[in-house]
Amino acid sequence: MENRIEKKIELKAPVARVWKALTDHHEFGEWFRVKIETPFVAGKPAVGRILYPGYEHLKWEVIIQKLEPERYFSFTWHPYAVEPDIDYSKETPTLVEFHLEKTARGTLLTVTESGFEKVPADRRALAFRMNDGGWAEQMKNIEAYLAQKS
């Protein structure tokens, strides 16, 4: 099994605009479908509530790792942590990275999530499959969001 997800999309928006959609917690929450209560600050948690139908009862929590303006943004989280009665805090989180690159038509956004080999074996395959599909959908979401807001 692979331990890394990678998705790429060329967005018809300038790097500065894509950066804002990724790192402004209100904008991120709008396209990612999560109500985030706290701004993104390196080294700090960002928490909120998932707004995706069927998952509204879940808390969304990440630890912001790096913010390198208009280039790179990353956070760690527990992938597919959807069982409200399970404590995922003892698990090693995966790393989600967003790379931005200027292109002739806008911005190439590459999203990677790595570290699935550290997810407990009993939930690793499901977490990988669900997040692989989730990132495919989120790439469409940010594309639609930017098309609507630009």
pLDDT 10s digits, 35-93? 999 999 999 999 999 998 988 989 999 999 999 999 999 999 999 999 888 899 999 99
Share of the chain above pLDDT 90, in %: 89
CATH of the domain at 115: 3.30.530.20
Domain that holds residue 113: 4-22+65-149
Give the Cα separation of 101 and 84 in Å (integer): 37
Residues 6+ apart with CB under 8 A from 85: none
Residue 79 lies in a domain: yes
Residue 28 lies in a domain: no
Residue 120 lies in a domain: yes
State both tokens at 143.
């594309």
Residue 18 lies in a domain: yes
Residue 49 dihedral angles phi and psi, to the nearest 5°: -120, 135
**2 confidence band (pLDDT: 50, 70, 90):** confident
State both tokens at 137.
């959908």
- For 121-148, how does the pLDDT look when each residue is reduced to its tens digit (9 = 90+)? 999 999 999 999 999 999 999 999 999 9
Residue 54 lies in a domain: no
Q: State the pTM of this model.
A: 0.96
Residue 35 lies in a domain: no
Q: How many domains does the chain have?
A: 1
Residue 87 lies in a domain: yes
